[in-house]
Amino acid sequence: MRIWIDADGCPRPVKEIVFRTSQRLKLPVCLVADRQVGRPSNPLVTTVRVTKDMDAADHYIADHLEPEDLVITTDLPLAAEVVAKGATGLNPRGELYTEENVRERLSMRDFLTGLRDAGVTTGGPAPYGPKDRQRFAEALDRLLTARLG
């Protein structure tokens, strides 16, 4: 099992939680981004720098993940691909991606994109806060406890 992080937009607290978890459970982690990202001195944490092409990090992760892997991302098309390949996807707010909710979220994203294209202001996600951090840490713990027994 490897933990992949779509690091371009991943909040720092999420990465810190995953780094500590990697150290504690001896799990490999790979950060994938189109720019240099910081990583701890933990040899289990690696980085892959991809081109600045749109979705290059997402494509890299999708091409290299295995069914037993965990992918942390906010990118819905990547989450859909992760689920389709039998792997596990988790967002930084601690929500597990499933076939049903990924389809629903992709439809909502497309709807909101249409509204924005028509000039309607739709707003964005709420700022990432302490409750989100706690939900993520709890979800990661539950997920890994179930997987690693």
Domain ranges of the chain: 3-148
Q: How far apart are the first and last CA of the chain?
A: 13
Say which CATH topology domain 3-148 has. Rossmann fold (3.40.50)
Residue whose pair of structure tokens reads 């999708």 in the numeric block:
62
Q: How many CB atoms lie within 10 A of CB 91?
A: 23
Residue 84 has a pLDDT of 95
Q: How many CB atoms lie within 10 A of CB 127?
A: 7
Contact (CB, 8 A) for 78 and 58: yes
What confidence tens digit (pLDDT) does each residue in 82-120 have? 999 999 999 999 999 999 888 878 667 676 667 677 777
pTM of the model: 0.88
Q: How many CB atoms lie within 10 A of CB 100?
A: 9
H or E segment to which residue 11 belongs = none
Task: Give the 3-state secondary structure of residue 43.
Answer: coil
For 3-29, what is the mean pLDDT? 96
